[in-house]
A = this chain, B = another copy of it.
Amino acid sequence: MPDIKAALAENARAVDATLDQLLPLHNDVDTRLLEAIRYSTLSGGKRIRPFLVVSGAELFGVSRSFALRAAAAVEMVHCYSLIHDDLPAMDDDTLRRGMPTCHVKFDEPTAILAGDGLLTRAFEVLADPATHTDPRVRADLVVELAKAAGIDGMVGGQMLDLLAEHRELGMAEITRLQRMKTGALIAFSCEAGAILGKAGDGARHALRAYAHDLGLAFQIVDDLLDVEGDADVVGKATGKDERAGKATFVSLLGVERARSQSDMLARQAVEHLAVFDATADPLRALASFIVERTN
């Protein structure tokens, strides 16, 4: 198995370099918007979604420069969603990755526009000829990312999450919420490599199954960290869900069962990768990393 921490760090450097190049500061008077965008996008982070894109693309021999652009687009969408979710009208968070959130560091209108600009740029990057020679691949990437990020995916999931504060959710509803809010973008991250590599149905199906279990494991661990984590290590406020009276996997299952459930899901995720050779080892190692992480 590869050293996953080293692999993640190496990948994060390459993704950050790509983001840096795709989000250049204009040599202009009004740099505030791009400063806010760069502040929230180039602020560290493990870059797990980009790692999935790049590792998935490697399975099909996709050009690394194509994969990195798609990875950067996914990260832009992830970062935009964090900026908007952190807004006072939404989750009202002041800390993210151990730093002031975008609207705290800049202001609310700048944060709203920074999110809008990032989301828009992500689609521009995917549709650009530099992301793939085949325009059908580029159009497919746009459609699938839009589905994952939109009304039936991330945006819809965040809406459900907000409504959840006023309702008691059961296991089926929490699972659906997670699948939309965080699972859909993780699934797209895995699928992007298959789209870029024009993979067959078998490989695509295996990756989708891996993504499904990985995404669920990821969310359960997130809920566990909110209960058990140290804010300094996690990099954002903890104990929020309980204070908000929100149902989570942990509130429904309890800490121990939630832990064993996430471990089981991670093992199951790896089993779906049986169709791939050692090229899929980074994806296998990531599954273990996800459930063992402390931030």
Asked if A32 is at the interface (CB within 8 A of a chain B CB), the reply is yes
A89: chain B residues at CB < 8 Å are: 89, 107-109, 112
Is there contact, CB below 8 Å, between B112 and A151? no
A45: chain B residues at CB < 8 Å are: none
- Which of B90, B128, B139 interacts with A109 by CB under 8 Å? B90
Asked if A116 is at the interface (CB within 8 A of a chain B CB), the reply is yes
Within residues 32 to 50 of chain A, which ones have a CB less than 8 A from any CB in chain B? 32-34, 37
Q: By DSSP majority rule, is chain A's interface helix, strand, loop, or mixed?
A: helix
Is there contact, CB below 8 Å, between A117 and B30? no
A159: chain B residues at CB < 8 Å are: 30, 32-33, 109-110, 113
Asked if A124 is at the interface (CB within 8 A of a chain B CB), the reply is yes
Question: Which residue on chain B has the smallest CB distance to residue A136?
Answer: B135
- Which of B87, B134, B139, B156 interacts with A127 by CB under 8 Å? B139
Asked if A190 is at the interface (CB within 8 A of a chain B CB), the reply is no
Interface residues on A, range: 35 or more
Question: Which residue on chain B has the smallest CB distance to residue A160?
Answer: B30
Alpha-carbon separation in the docked complex, A38 to B136 (Å): 30
Asked if A84 is at the interface (CB within 8 A of a chain B CB), the reply is yes
- Which of B34, B136, B143, B163 interacts with A151 by CB under 8 Å? B34
Question: Which residue on chain B has the smallest CB distance to residue A127?
Answer: B142
- Once A109-B89, A113-B155, A155-B120 are accepted as A-B contacts, the answer to whether A135 and B139 lie under 8 Å apart by CB is yes
Asked if A67 is at the interface (CB within 8 A of a chain B CB), the reply is no
A134: chain B residues at CB < 8 Å are: 135
Give a binary string over A85-124; 1 marks a CB under 8 Å from any B CB, 0 the rest: 0010110000000000000000111101101110111011
3 closest residue pairs by CB, A with B: A124-B146, A89-B108, A127-B142
